[in-house]
Amino acid sequence: MKLPLLFLMIFSFNCLSAQLYVGPSQEGDSYIYVKDRLLFVRDGIELSENKKKETAASIFLRKDSQLLQGNKESSKNSGNGSLSVFQTGTSNAFDYNYWSLPVYSDSPGNRLNDYIFEPLDKTESRKANLISGLDGQASPLNISNRWIYTFAGTSYSNWEYAGNHFSAKPGIGFTMKGVNGSNLLEIEEKPVNPGSAQTYDFRGLPNDGKIEIVIAKDQMLLVGNPYPSALNLDKFLFENKSSTGIAYFWDSKPGGTSHYLADYEGGYGTYSPGAGLYVPAIFRKYPGGETGETGAYIGRKYAPVGQGFLIMGKSDGTISFENSQRIYQKMEKGISEFKLPETSIPAMRINIEIDSLFTRQIVLAFREDSTKDDDHAMDARRMDKTSGDVSWELSGENFVVNVRPKQDEELIPLSIELDKETELKFYIEELLNFDPDRIFLYDSKDDLYFGIKTGYLKLKLPAGTYSDRFFISFLEKLPLVTTTGQNEGVFKPKPPNVLLNTIDIFQNNKLEQLEVKILYDTGLESVQLFDLNGKLIFKENLKGSPKEFNFSTGKLSPAVYIAKVKTSDNKELTKKIGVKN
């Protein structure tokens, strides 16, 4: 039974569950205004357009409100009315966001501004202007149609212009540059645009039900969350077996000032649901050249309303978005960032500085249900290649995320590709739910183990490809060898050739002291401590080459400092420490 909804009950309840019809009555317009709440409708929604332009829409989702609907194969939503949902883009007129529409129309238009509106107050909006000029503007909201593209293919030439005749189906993603200027009108205590953070009003019938998209093997496809709710990205990626199960997100240097391709500074970050981790983008200038900067760490477990991203085809088939993948999850900040619960998966981030120009990060994670080969939604291929690069090698391919069963004695191969002689600096950026006694970079050519858990290792290598020389090892259990002579037949551990950087530098805040320990056959020559401005706080020249050194930090101000250690065999190691008194 269809009844016009004439009251605003969402303020009082956390959710509303029903089959829903909203339309005007003889007495006037009818609408639902949802603020900071979940609206749940089990079955279909029918919306009839209201008479007044101030309340033309039938459902207003405000202040992180979202709509969920019950599981079904196809949408039962209909009518000439609309749902209105706000979302904020984080770019200026020179930078891209990747989007996907959360709404559609029973009588679709052929321009993007049939769906994107400029907020005027809590309920009233007007169509955004689509302009042919290069720069969008905040007030009035002018969106440049020059930068609206979709993507399906394997090369740059596969970007398809969609600015004049927009016909992207639900689930398909598109690019759009932001706007310059500001709009300080406040709606629900938030400016429409405080500066390079434009709020857009998406209007139309809410997307619902199963949405399928064709994908081909090795094809990159720009897709996005098609619903007016958050999307459980882990569930979406794990369930879609025709994709590799990895999502790639465009990120760029804030505050761009040019539309020329050669001036773009950005790259693609990588999210692996199997590792529960996001690897930030390496920013590059296009068509080539590293900038030395990387993107931010961003929570990706949930894709917010309108978030677009790239996926890769593992086989010919289809991918599907389904209501079972939807979730009510508020955003923390920006268009694409949710608060990400700390992963419970043992993992570590390894940073490799390449010629001190930029940093490649690779991730190693451990799951009992993984294999050493390429696992769906776990191992993540490298999206781009730099002039000098380091990655994991799996089945002859290059990966930035490697998920495998934990085996302490295993040597885990790295792939190093260098176009010229290059200096590489390896160090551990972060350990998560995982604290091995030692972490080594093993050089099989020289049979040397370099400890990198607490310090770094610098190597200078000539141009070439190194696919079977360097490995990561934990070596918690040493190989056994048979002794000879009087104790023949007795097995003893064979000590590895552990060299450079097996030095522990540890700030023990409980005891208020800096602790230094040498773990190989040498001693300490000097220890220095600096603040982040380079001011020398402490220096001690040591006699007799001791193996250990402790320095009281109880009188230091809480801050980050840099410890520099020199050994008696002329090796140097620096490490940041955090003093918390």
Other CB atoms closer than 10 Å to residue 257's CB: what's the count?
A: 9
- Strand, helix or coil for residue 581: coil
pLDDT attached to residue 197:
92
d(CA 212, CA 513): 59
- Strand, helix or coil for residue 37: coil
Q: Kindly state whether residue 13 falls inside one of the protein's structural domains.
A: no
* Sequence letter at residue 496: P
What pLDDT digit, counting tens, does each position of 403-448 carry?
Answer: 999 877 789 999 999 999 999 999 999 999 988 888 889 888 877 7
Flag the least confident range among 7-16, 189-198, 344-353: 7-16
d(CA 34, CA 41): 13
Residue of 575, 580, 456 whose CA lies nearest to 513: 580
Scanning the structure block, which residue is given the tokens 């309108």?
306
**Given a cut of 60, is residue 3 above it in pLDDT?**
no
Scanning the structure block, which residue is given the tokens 């009108």?
185
- 193 and 280 within one domain: yes
Burial 380-396 (b: 16+ CB within 10 A, else e): bbbbeebbbbbbbbbee
Flag the least confident range among 3-7, 264-268, 454-458: 3-7
454 or 508: which carries more pLDDT confidence?
508
Instruction: Please give the mean pLDDT across all residues of the chain.
Output: 87
- 486 and 366 within one domain: yes
Q: Kindly state whether residue 75 falls inside one of the protein's structural domains.
A: yes
What does pTM read for this prediction? 0.81
326 or 331: which carries more pLDDT confidence?
326
* Sequence letter at residue 108: P
**Given a cut of 70, is residue 339 above it in pLDDT?**
no
Note down the domain range covering 569: 502-579
Residue 577: pLDDT band with limits 50, 70, 90: confident
- 299 and 207 within one domain: yes
Cα–Cα distance list, 521 to 357, 473, 475, 477, 568 (Å): 33, 20, 18, 20, 10
- 445 and 317 within one domain: no
Question: What are the tokens at 307?
Answer: 């978030």
Last residue of a domain, one of 438, 469, 498: 498
- 474 and 353 within one domain: yes
Cα–Cα distance list, 260 to 263, 264, 265 (Å): 5, 7, 11
Q: Kindly state whether residue 258 falls inside one of the protein's structural domains.
A: yes
**Given a cut of 60, is residue 14 above it in pLDDT?**
no
What pLDDT digit, counting tens, does each position of 190-218 carry?
Answer: 999 999 899 999 999 999 999 999 999 99
For residue 234, the 8-state DSSP code is H
- Partnered with residue 335 across adjacent β-strands are none
pLDDT attached to residue 495:
45
For residue 442, the 8-state DSSP code is E
What percent of the chain is modeled with pLDDT above 70? Answer: 88
Whether the bond into 140 is cis, omega within 30 of 0: yes
d(CA 581, CA 241): 51
Q: Kindly state whether residue 379 falls inside one of the protein's structural domains.
A: yes
Last residue of a domain, one of 60, 85, 110: 85
pLDDT attached to residue 420:
94
Residue of 4, 226, 30, 197 whose CA lies nearest to 97: 197
pLDDT attached to residue 502:
62
What pLDDT digit, counting tens, does each position of 501-535 carry?
Answer: 467 788 888 899 999 887 666 788 899 999 998 99
- 268 and 125 within one domain: yes
For residue 172, the 8-state DSSP code is B
Domain count, the chain: 4
Q: Interior CA angle at 103 toward 28 and 121, to 5°?
A: 50
Q: Is 224 exposed, middle or buried (0-12, 13-18, 19+ CB in 10 A)?
A: buried
Last residue of a domain, one of 327, 355, 378: 327
pLDDT attached to residue 520:
60
What pLDDT digit, counting tens, does each position of 275-326 carry?
Answer: 999 999 988 877 666 777 888 888 899 999 999 999 999 999 999 999 999 9
Q: Kindly state whether residue 2 falls inside one of the protein's structural domains.
A: no
